Structure formats: structure tokens, C-alpha cells
Homo-oligomer: A and B are copies of this chain.
Amino acid sequence: MLLRNQVEWALHCCAVMVGMPAERFLATKVLAEFHEVPKEYLSKALQSLSQAGIIEGTLGPNGGYRLAKAPSEITFLDVVEAVEGRTSSFACTEIRRNNPCRPTRMRDPKPCAVARVMWEADAAWRKTLRGVRLSDLAKTLESDIPAELAAKNTEWLLARS
């Protein structure tokens, strides 16, 4: 069970956008070159984010994407679910219905104990992701990344928009 690498790309792109001056758009091409990932494929991830209302895009020269909301209004879960989907990691096939002893017309009042536990774990995973916002990430990166490098990154990105 592995998350798509688009999740990583999407999160990094968001991290980059948080550091950009408001109203400025970043083109897919620039983001792809910055991370050295295939432009066309990264585009799909950004489209997912756009569709989810996390970022917004504009066309034409100087076009691209920017955050559609305040960084404090965007959680990790928003980003992850936009590209990975909202379905639980545990899929229930209802194999208990195959039980040969079970009366054919028996009704299942509720999801079985196994599924409930697995879904609870999935909820805990999502709760953790929902608890971290892009604004939190920005603050962490501020102390993680040397100010000099951060400035150089912003400059590099803006020069190509």
C-alpha cells in the first residue's frame, strides 16, 4: 500500500506556492523544472488540486497556478485527498456473506467488527493530516531552510514566471 508520488509532488508544489508573493502565478513548466519531474504528468496533479479548489489557474502567458485560499485554510488532508481520493484504504468485500452457514436472507445490521477497526485507523490517519495546515508547514520550513536559500528559490521561480 503506497501513496502515489503525485501526492509528494502536490505537497511540494503547495509548499513552494506558500512562499510566493500573493497574486503571482507559477506555471506548471516552472514547477516541473524546479522539482525535475515530468511536466505533463505533474500537470495532472495540479489539475486535481485546481478541481478541489485548493489552487486556481489562469491561461495565457504569465499564466499558471496560485493558492486559491489562505494557507491557514488549507490542510494536508485537502491536498492528499485531492490527488489520492477520499476512499478509505481498507476496502470491504463483504466476504462474511460467503459464509456457508449463514442464513441466505440474513441482514447485516452494521459493518462488521473487522471493518470498523480498519476504518477507525483510516480516520486517525486523516485526522492527523487534517490537523496540519499549509501555514504550519510554512512556519516549519522557515526554521528548517536557511533564509538565503529560501530567497534564492523565490527569486529563481519568479524569474521564470
- Which A residues are within 8 Å of any B CB, using their own CB? 1-5, 7-9, 11-12, 15, 33-37, 76, 84-85, 87, 89-93, 95-96, 98-103, 106, 110, 112-114, 117-118, 120-122, 124-129, 132, 137, 140-141, 144, 149, 152-153, 156
Instruction: Report B-chain residues with C-beta under 8 Å of the C-beta of A126.
Output: 121
A11 B114 Cβ-Cβ under 8 A: yes
Alpha-carbon separation in the docked complex, A103 to B145 (Å): 12
Give chain A's interface secondary structure class. helix
Q: What CA separation (Å) do A127 and B156 show in the bound complex?
A: 41
Q: How far is the CA of A1 from the CA of B118 in the complex (A)?
A: 14
CA of A112 to CA of B102 in the docked complex: distance in angstroms? 51
Residues of B within 8 A of A7 (CB): 90
**Is A102 within 8 A of B149, CB to CB?**
yes
**Contacts of A120 on B, CB cut-off 8 Å?**
128
Task: Point out the residue from B2, B90, B95, B113 that lies within 8 Å of A36, measured CB to CB.
Answer: B95
A38 CB to nearest B CB, Å: 12
Is the beta-carbon distance between A34 and B100 smaller than 8 angstroms?
A: yes
Q: Name the B residues within 8 Å of A2 (CB-CB).
A: 1, 87, 89, 91
Would you call A5 and B91 a contact (CB within 8 A)?
yes
Per the bound structure, the CA–CA distance linking A37 and B94 in Å amounts to: 12
- A8: which B residues are within 8 A, CB to CB? 90-93, 95, 114
Set B35, B96, B110, B122: member contacting A95, Cβ < 8 A: B35
Contact B1 A99 (CB under 8 A): no
